[in-house]
């Protein structure tokens, strides 16, 4: 898990190389464009995270603060109403390094396991719904 987490952090927070043109290539092979969030931020598409757009400070080192910002900037929601990967994966990776980060910085992430009575409650509650 820690290895995966490290890879994700490196992938997501890789230092970008800025050129004079509007389009850039970062060290992870992403194609990047100037970002709308502010000076020094970029949107990138990664071939191994197809379709994913992230907004990354190109001068960032792998600091916790930057990772938190990255997780929030890449926030997307899934059809079930939870975080969408890879922001979720990144957050889990960070929390695996330091649970305090998971609680304080990325407090929206929860690690849940469903079994037994809780699972049965969910099935019952969602089988018939009246609004």
Partner 1 sequence: MLAVLMLSGLVAFQSPVADGHLNLTLTSVDSLPDGFEAAGASYSPTGALLVWSSRSPLLLYSNSSTRMTRMEFPSNQAPIAVGFENDTVIDILASSMGRVLRTTVSEPRTFVEYQLQLPEDSLLVTTAVRMRGAWCVATQNRSGVLAIYSVLDAGGSTKLASFHRSGYSKQLPDSLAQLGVHLSEAAGGCIVSMWWAPFESFWYTVDGVLVEELRPPADSLNGTGPSGGQTPALIALPLLPVDSGFIQTISDLRSDDRILLLYPPQRERIRRIVLHSPIGFFATYSPTRTILGMRATDAKQLLIYHWSWGEGNTNQPRSQQ
Which spans of this chain sit near partner 1 (rule: CB under 8 A)? 33-34, 36-37, 43, 45, 47, 49-53, 55, 69, 72-73, 75-85, 107-108, 110, 112-115, 119, 121-122, 125-131
Residues sharing a CB contact under 8 Å with residue 86, sequence separation 6 or more, in sequence order: 8, 12, 49, 52, 74
The first and second tokens of residue 57, run together, are 């400070």
Minimum distance, C-beta of residue 34 to partner 1, in the bound complex (Å): 7
| Residue 2 near residue 97, CB atoms below 8 Å | yes
Closest CA to 44 of 14, 36, 52: 52
With respect to partner 1, which residue has the nearer C-beta, 29 or 62?
29
With respect to partner 1, which residue has the nearer C-beta, 21 or 126?
126
Minimum distance, C-beta of residue 26 to partner 1, in the bound complex (Å): 16
């Amino acid at each position: 898990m820690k290895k995966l987490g490290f890879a994700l952090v490196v992938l997501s927070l890789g230092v970008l190389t800025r050129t004079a043109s509007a389009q850039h290539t970062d060290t992870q092979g992403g194609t990047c464009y100037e970002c709308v969030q502010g000076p020094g931020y970029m949107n990138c598409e990664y071939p191994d995270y197809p379709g994913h757009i992230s907004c990354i400070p190109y001068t960032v080192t792998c600091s916790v603060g930057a990772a938190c910002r990255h997780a929030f900037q890449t926030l997307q929601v899934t059809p079930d109403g939870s975080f969408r990967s890879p922001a979720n994966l990144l957050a889990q990776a960070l929390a695996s390094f330091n649970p305090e980060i998971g609680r304080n910085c990325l407090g929206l992430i929860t690690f849940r396991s469903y079994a037994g009575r809780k699972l049965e409650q969910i099935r019952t509650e969602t089988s018939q719904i009246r609004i």
